[in-house]
Amino acid sequence: MAFARARHVAQAFRSICHVASAEELKRLSPPQAAPVLVFFTAAWCQPCRSVLPHLEDISDRFEGPHLKLAQVDVSDSPEAAREFRVEAVPYFLVLRDGHVVERLAGDGPKELAEVAERHAAAFEKLQEESR
Amino acid sequence: MAAAPSPDAAYDFDLFVIGGGSGGLAAAKQAADLGAKVAVADFVKPSPAGTTWGLGGTCVNVGCIPKKLMHISSLYRETQGDAHGMGWETKASHSWSAMVTQVDNYIKSLNWGAKTELRSKTVKYYNAFATFTGPNTLALENSKGSVEQVSAKNILIACGGRPTYGDVPGVKECCISSDDIFWQKKAPGKTLVVGASYIALECAGFISALGFDVTVMVRSILLRGFDQDISNMIGTYMEKHGVNFAREMVPSKFEKTDDGKVKVFVKDAEYGIFDTVLMAIGRTGCAGQLNLEAAGLPYNAKSGKIDVNDGDQTSVPHIFAIGDVIEGKPELTPVAIQAGKLLCRRLFGGATKKMDYTDVATTVFTPLEYGCVGYSEEEAKQSLGKDRVKVYHASAQPLEWNLNSERKEDMGYMKLIVDKDEKEKVKGIHVLGPNAGEIIQGLAVAIRCGVTKEHFDDCVGIHPTFAESYTTMTEEKTEGSALPTKGGGHSWKPNESCA
């Protein structure tokens, strides 16, 4: 417990990478790269602010060689929201090889963590099998 | 007047809507639903103080929505008092900037939702200021100054209005308006509200209740056009609860002081120094900014509004107008929305129903709310003649006010105005009290059904409520009589000018 807390403090300054366009988002997910959990948010969105600490926790626990996280502000990048058919925020999707493989809206932190863990584990397994 | 739903090859759009407010957006979405090729142009020119906002129009950004939220926020002050009388111990403080941030975040979510909805209905949205270049052509200028030309078979003007500043020297440099107050993160401080419109009183009401020193400067009467008995009661209530009124005064000059405050002059003598001066003396339609001359469409320069017939059509057959920009109709969001939908159903859906602008209910969200539908007492006497008009009235008080030492003497009030010649058919209903808007909404439907005094009497009230007093009204308001009292409390005198 103490170790997890220390780790969290050490990484307190790492925040989720901001992405400003659909192209940039797709560049984060080239073929055979790790899955990307994308968080669509907005500066004016209160529920989005509430979910951010949970995402930072997910980043601490699962982000690494097997999972990446990214966030897009839909007001700043409306074309990215449009392209990924995001009509309400907060919204989440998982990208693999530049394609959307899973979509979540209005899900709680437990579901998000489950999705993150599942995709990271699946990718890790794929990496091991291909060796 | 029906237009072809399929895109006419000669024009870019079947319908071009100028203004993305309540009326414009409702009309555009309705037209698109019926298969028309539609576009909306919305552009907010910053206020003199520099405030601007997103898609959605006055109601969403600088009207109904922020107003109602801030009004409700301000009501919590008195609710605390009620609560203390019923067992609660609370200590509350209010942060103006936190409230503005939260309200503005909500408004921004509405802006975004409005944009998304237009997209999902395939309505093309231009964030550009539209002006006419010909009867069927418009120039769209965006914030960067580039201009795009479009043509449309039908054009709907739904550009609304903006606050009137008047021409008192220094007004634009020193004063703000309702365009600014809802977006101002800095607390208003000592405030002067100039005007006696519902906008003036609503703003004065919530600013005062949130803890600021407020003065309202009134030229003559309060709430012109509304029932004057009730308008005066609203003034008395506000005064009792801490709002200062400067009656029969107008500002003559405004000057900025060295520390950023405003020095206000009346008859060129210094009247006072305020942190904020809010001008709420009326609103002007935006018709004068559209270059209507290019379309051969006249408008009223003084009001900034356009005349339309009962089909919301202007003197140019393919140009229509709805909402705050049209002359002589209630400036209300639901009115614009309904008119816009009905218009587009007529244009693209083969419908014939026209907008009914009569008996539209409304509510003034002053600290003590005032809801009404139908005639005011003055209007009834004017259109039916004094002899045909009978007025029933009653005072009432929400149960819980009895336990609040700060307001156990406060009273609400209600009036039924009936036509003696039509079996006491109810021509006007007025209520002054909490949740007035909720009370009046159902009664507005009753008015449409031709409700009579007998219906009200036969209806059994719900107890304990404030509204139940409508079902037991026996006291007639006659000239010179005092208002009904709550059994021994104080009484207000009815406004003599009603006689």
pLDDT at residue B6, as a whole number: 52
pLDDT at residue A14, as a whole number: 56
- Interface contact flag, A75 B108, Cβ < 8 Å: yes
Q: Work out whether strand B269-274 and strand B283-285 pair parallel, antiparallel, or are unpaired.
A: unpaired
Top-confidence residue, B359 or A12: B359
pLDDT-derived band at B3 (thresholds 50, 70, 90) equals low
Total Cβ atoms within 10 A of residue A64? 12
Which residues on B lie below 8 Å from A82 (Cβ)? 119
Using one digit for the tens of pLDDT, what is the confidence trace for B222-231?
Answer: 999 999 999 9
- Interface contact flag, A43 B108, Cβ < 8 Å: yes
Contacts 24+ apart (CB under 8 A), B462-469: B464/B399, B466/B396, B466/B397, B466/B398, B466/B412, B466/B433, B466/B434, B466/B435, B466/B439, B467/B431, B467/B439, B469/B394, B469/B396, B469/B414
Residue list, annotated binding site of B for NAD(+): 195-202, 282
Residue with tokens 């634009």: B172
Q: What is the DSSP string of B161-227?
A: EEE-----TTHHHH-B-HHHHTT--S---SEEEE--SHHHHHHHHHHHHTT--EEEEESS-SSTTS-
Nearest-CB residue to A42 (from B102, B112, B120): B112
Q: Which helix (H) or strand (E) holds B263?
A: strand B262-266
Rounded distance between C-alpha atoms, residue B375 and residue B362, angstroms = 12
Q: Which residue of A has its CA nearest to B105?
A: A44
Which residues make beta-bridge pairs with B479? none
Does position B486 have pLDDT exceeding 80, yes or no?
A: no
pLDDT-derived band at B498 (thresholds 50, 70, 90) equals very low
Top-confidence residue, A105 or B488: A105
- Interface contact flag, A44 B119, Cβ < 8 Å: no
Residue with tokens 């863990």: A117
Rounded distance between C-alpha atoms, residue B178 and residue B182, angstroms = 7
Which residues on B lie below 8 Å from A91 (Cβ)? none
Rounded distance between C-alpha atoms, residue B464 and residue B474, angstroms = 19
Contact B18, B130 (CB under 8 A): yes
Predicted model pTM: 0.89
Q: How many H helices and E strands in chain B?
A: 12, 21
Using one digit for the tens of pLDDT, what is the confidence trace for B308-355?
Answer: 999 999 999 999 999 999 999 999 999 999 999 999 999 999 999 999
Coil, strand or helix at B41: strand
Q: How many H helices and E strands in chain A?
A: 5, 5
- Interface contact flag, B112 A75, Cβ < 8 Å: yes
Of the candidates B215, B206, B222, the one whose C-alpha atom is nearest the C-alpha of residue B246 is: B215
Nearest-CB residue to B119 (from A43, A75, A82): A82
Residue list, annotated binding site of B for FAD: 68, 324
Residue list, annotated binding site of B: 68, 195-202, 282, 324
pLDDT-derived band at B8 (thresholds 50, 70, 90) equals low
Rounded distance between C-alpha atoms, residue B255 and residue B269, angstroms = 12
Using one digit for the tens of pLDDT, what is the confidence trace for B145-200?
Answer: 999 999 999 999 999 999 999 999 999 999 999 999 999 999 999 999 999 999 99
> Crossing angle of helices B198-209/B228-240, nearest 10°?
20
pLDDT at residue A130, as a whole number: 85
Q: How far is CA B451 from the centre of its chain?
A: 26
Cis, bond preceding B7 (omega within 30 deg of 0): no
Rounded distance between C-alpha atoms, residue B375 and residue B260, angstroms = 45
Which runs of consecutive H residues, i.e. helices, occur in A1-131? Answer: 2-10, 22-27, 46-62, 78-83, 109-129
Rounded distance between C-alpha atoms, residue B170 and residue A12, angstroms = 51
Contact A48, A81 (CB under 8 A): no
**In b/e form, how buried is each residue of A8-35, taking b as 16+ CB within 10 angstroms?**
eeeeeeeebeebeebeebbebbeeeebb
Does position B491 have pLDDT exceeding 80, yes or no?
A: no
Rounded distance between C-alpha atoms, residue A86 and residue B485, angstroms = 58
Using one digit for the tens of pLDDT, what is the confidence trace for B27-84?
Answer: 999 999 999 999 999 999 999 999 999 999 999 999 999 999 999 999 999 899 899 9
Of the candidates B429, B394, B426, the one whose C-alpha atom is nearest the C-alpha of residue B412 is: B394
Q: Work out whether strand B370-374 and strand B269-274 pair parallel, antiparallel, or are unpaired.
A: unpaired
Q: What is the mean pLDDT of chain B?
A: 93
Percent of chain A with pLDDT over 90: 66
Rounded distance between C-alpha atoms, residue B133 and residue B409, angstroms = 61
pLDDT at residue A12, as a whole number: 47
Q: Which residue of B has its CA nearest to A42?
A: B109
- Interface contact flag, B108 A82, Cβ < 8 Å: no
Q: What's the token pair of residue B33? A: 């639903």
Segment B81-99 mean pLDDT: 93
Given the residues A45, A52, A104, A122, select the one marked as catalytic. A45
Using one digit for the tens of pLDDT, what is the confidence trace for A80-93?
Answer: 999 998 988 999 99
Does position A7 have pLDDT exceeding 70, yes or no?
A: no
- Interface contact flag, A45 B109, Cβ < 8 Å: yes
Contact B395, B431 (CB under 8 A): no
Rounded distance between C-alpha atoms, residue B35 and residue B206, angstroms = 44
Contact B318, B153 (CB under 8 A): yes
Which runs of consecutive H residues, i.e. helices, occur in A18-108? Answer: 22-27, 46-62, 78-83
Of the candidates B413, B423, B417, B414, the one whose C-alpha atom is nearest the C-alpha of residue B375 is: B417
Nearest-CB residue to B105 (from A46, A74, A87): A46
Q: A17 an active-site residue?
A: no
- Interface contact flag, B109 A74, Cβ < 8 Å: no
Rounded distance between C-alpha atoms, residue B84 and residue B400, angstroms = 11
Interface residue ranges in chain B relative to chain A, Cβ cutoff 8 Å:
102, 104-109, 112-113, 115-116, 119-120
pLDDT-derived band at A131 (thresholds 50, 70, 90) equals confident
Does position A111 have pLDDT exceeding 70, yes or no?
A: yes
Contact A112, A55 (CB under 8 A): yes
Total Cβ atoms within 10 A of residue B479? 9
Rounded distance between C-alpha atoms, residue A46 and residue B325, angstroms = 35
Q: Which helix (H) or strand (E) holds B423?
A: none
Which residues make beta-bridge pairs with B13? B152
Give me the domains of chain A, ranges plus CATH numbers.
2-129 (3.40.30.10)
Rounded distance between C-alpha atoms, residue A37 and residue A72, angstroms = 11
Rounded distance between C-alpha atoms, residue B8 and residue B38, angstroms = 12
Nearest-CB residue to A44 (from B108, B119, B120): B108
Instruction: Return the DSSP state at B47.
Output: P
Q: Given its phi and psi angles, is residue B187 left (phi above 0), alpha (psi -120 to 50 degrees) or beta?
A: beta
Of the candidates B171, B345, B355, B141, the one whose C-alpha atom is nearest the C-alpha of residue B251 is: B171
